[in-house]
Amino acid sequence: MPDFWIDVVESAEWFDEQRRDLGREFVAAVDAAIDKVLENPHAYRTVATPTRRFIIKRFQQLVFYEAEAENVLFLGVVHGSREVNRWLQRRRG
């Protein structure tokens, strides 16, 4: 399973612990974010070339992705309070 979906599943489980069905609502918000990014991948802020981010405001989550020509690669989902630069460095490995 790609890291992106691992992040989604782990976050959804955490949200479900906070309130019943909140994880399902989170996954729906991620699906909506994916649709918006796919509609116009270059519309969202670049955080570290070529990585961009989309903010899911309701959940304070950042969706990281890279857009190249016709392809979009979703990299991860991170809570906005986490140290984003550290996450990006870990991603580059």
Q: What are phi and psi of 79, to 5 degrees?
A: -65, 140
Residues 12-58 pLDDT 10s: 999 999 999 999 999 999 999 999 999 999 999 998 888 999 999 99
Q: Note the pLDDT of residue 14.
A: 96
Could you give all domains of the chain from N- to C-terminal order, each with its CATH number?
Answer: 3-92 (3.30.2310.20)
Quickly state the pLDDT bin for 11 (edges 50, 70, 90): very high
Q: Note the pLDDT of residue 57.
A: 96
Quickly state the pLDDT bin for 70 (edges 50, 70, 90): confident
Cβ–Cβ under 8 Å, residues 63 and 74: yes
Here the tokens at position 31 are 């699906």
Distance CA 5, CA 85 (A): 20
Name the pTM for this structure.
Answer: 0.88
Q: Pick from 57, 59, 63: which is nearest to 87 by CA?
A: 63
